[in-house]
Amino acid sequence: MELPPILKGDSLTRLLQGAATGAAATLVVGFYWGGWTLASTSQKLVENAQQASVVRVLAPICADKFQHSANASANLKALNTADSWKRDEMIEKAGWTTFPGSEPDRKVAEACASLLTQVK
């Protein structure tokens, strides 16, 4: 059985080059403009969205716990006078970001501090 002319010599080389170029172009277009992602990238996006949801829910609770503490006005004054990079640490140490069944979360503390310093 004889091979067709397209699979012989230069034609075969051109066919394979075209197939490789087409595959590469498809991958480039798909990943850069088509919205394709790897499983690891999708997993990171899901984890970031979950963390943002947790922060969005727990930060107002933290701020409420802060405002209803025994010496809230003195704590708020101390929080406002503290350096911005130490505020979340103050909130964590005071225990306002610790919820049942969880560890203190720095991102919740940052969001809580942001909410508290915006309050006038």
For the segment 59-107, what is each residue's pLDDT rounded down to a tens digit? Answer: 999 999 998 988 888 988 988 888 888 888 889 888 888 888 888 888 9
Structure letter (DSSP) for residue 73: H
**d(Cα 110, Cα 89) in Å, to the nearest integer?**
9
Q: Which amino acid makes up residue 18?
A: G
Give the dihedral of Cα atoms 78, 65, 93, 71; nearest 10 deg.
40
Is the model's pLDDT at 119 over the cut of 70?
no
Angle among Cα 115, 55, 43 to the nearest 5 degrees reads 150
Q: Are 108 and 54 in contact (CB under 8 A)?
A: yes
pLDDT recorded at residue 7:
67
Give the residue-averaged pLDDT of 27-51: 93
